[in-house]
């Protein structure tokens, strides 16, 4: 079984997450909004009273070194509310910008708020993406009916995480979880999460994969 993980929004707690994942030899995909970075770290929003800060431009390459980069649009809007030229900028110009920042090809897209329709799908297809994360959670996730609506197995805090992992493993399917590093908001959660990643890394029956490696 291949195991995939996606982490969204490019925030400061990704530094700790990336270190943890490197320590545990785990592959991961980070979904970023290149239009929201400033030169230095900047305040993003409040989540349950905690300040969430975005990374600074200059540190992006080193923080995400060795991981897969996915485009999460330029500025994280509801894509279904945009005009076609706005869509093009959010979907295509963002891909170009990420490829320039990271000096590598970006093959995947992730719909902000999981919000998309046929026009958005068409814009993602026209921009040359090979896969996109979106859709409803399904029992069998791979291969998806449309690679531009590739649904994860579950959120990383889903209480049924291990049940879904075991069922995917029995079927030799793909197990794909997602989340935001800022949801790890206590030391206990970080410790529990690292144990989880360690357990997956030491499972001889599975291997970590980048999402894009399934769609080459
Ligand atoms: Zn997001």
The pLDDT tens digits of the residues spanning 91-132 come to 999 999 999 999 999 999 999 999 999 999 999 999 999 999
Please give the distance, rounded to the nearest whole angstrom, from the Cα atom of residue 203 to the centre of ligand 1. 30
Please give the distance, rounded to the nearest whole angstrom, from the Cα atom of residue 162 to the centre of ligand 1. 24
Please give the distance, rounded to the nearest whole angstrom, from the Cα atom of residue 169 to the centre of ligand 1. 28
**Count of all residues that appear for the chain in the document:** 216
Please give the distance, rounded to the nearest whole angstrom, from the Cα atom of residue 37 to the centre of ligand 1. 14
Please give the distance, rounded to the nearest whole angstrom, from the Cα atom of residue 198 to the centre of ligand 1. 26
Q: What angle do CA 58, 62, 67 make, to 5 degrees?
A: 130
Our measurement of the distance from residue 179's CA atom to the centroid of its chain's CA atoms, rounded to an integer in Å, reads 7
The fold of the 2-214 domain, in CATH, is TIM Barrel (3.20.20)
End-to-end CA distance of the chain: 18
Please give the distance, rounded to the nearest whole angstrom, from the Cα atom of residue 140 to the centre of ligand 1. 24
Each domain of the chain, given as residue ranges in start order, spans 2-214
**pLDDT higher than 80, residue 137:** no
Please name which of 54, 67, 63, 56 lies closest in space to residue 9, comparing C-alpha atoms.
54
**DSSP β-ladder status, 154-155 and 2-8:** unpaired
Please give the distance, rounded to the nearest whole angstrom, from the Cα atom of residue 110 to the centre of ligand 1. 8
pLDDT of 118: 96
Q: Which H/E stretch holds residue 30?
A: strand 29-32
The pLDDT tens digits of the residues spanning 166-193 come to 999 999 889 999 999 999 999 999 999 9
């Amino acid at each position: 079984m291949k195991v995939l993980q996606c982490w969204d929004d490019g925030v400061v707690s990704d530094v700790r997450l990336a270190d943890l994942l490197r320590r545990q030899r785990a592959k991961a995909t980070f979904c970023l909004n290149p239009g929201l970075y400033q030169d230095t770290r900047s305040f993003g929003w409040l989540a349950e009273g905690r300040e969430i800060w975005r990374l600074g431009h200059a540190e992006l390459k080193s923080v995400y070194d060795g991981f897969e980069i996915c485009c999460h649009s330029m500025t994280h809007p509801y894509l279904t509310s945009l005009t076609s030229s706005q869509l093009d900028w959010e979907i295509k110009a963002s891909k170009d910008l990420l490829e320039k920042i990271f000096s590598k090809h970006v093959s995947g897209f992730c719909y902000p708020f999981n919000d998309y329709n046929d026009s958005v799908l068409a814009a993602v297809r026209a921009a040359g993406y090979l896969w996109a994360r979106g859709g409803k959670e399904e029992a069998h996730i791979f291969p998806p009916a449309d690679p531009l609506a590739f649904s994860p197995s579950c959120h990383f805090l889903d209480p049924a995480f291990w049940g879904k992992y075991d069922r995917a493993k029995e079927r030799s399917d793909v197990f794909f979880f997602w989340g935001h590093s800022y949801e790890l908001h206590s030391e206990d959660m970080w410790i529990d999460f690292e144990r989880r990643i360690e357990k997956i890394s030491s499972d001889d029956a599975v291997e970590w994969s980048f999402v894009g490696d399934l769609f080459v």
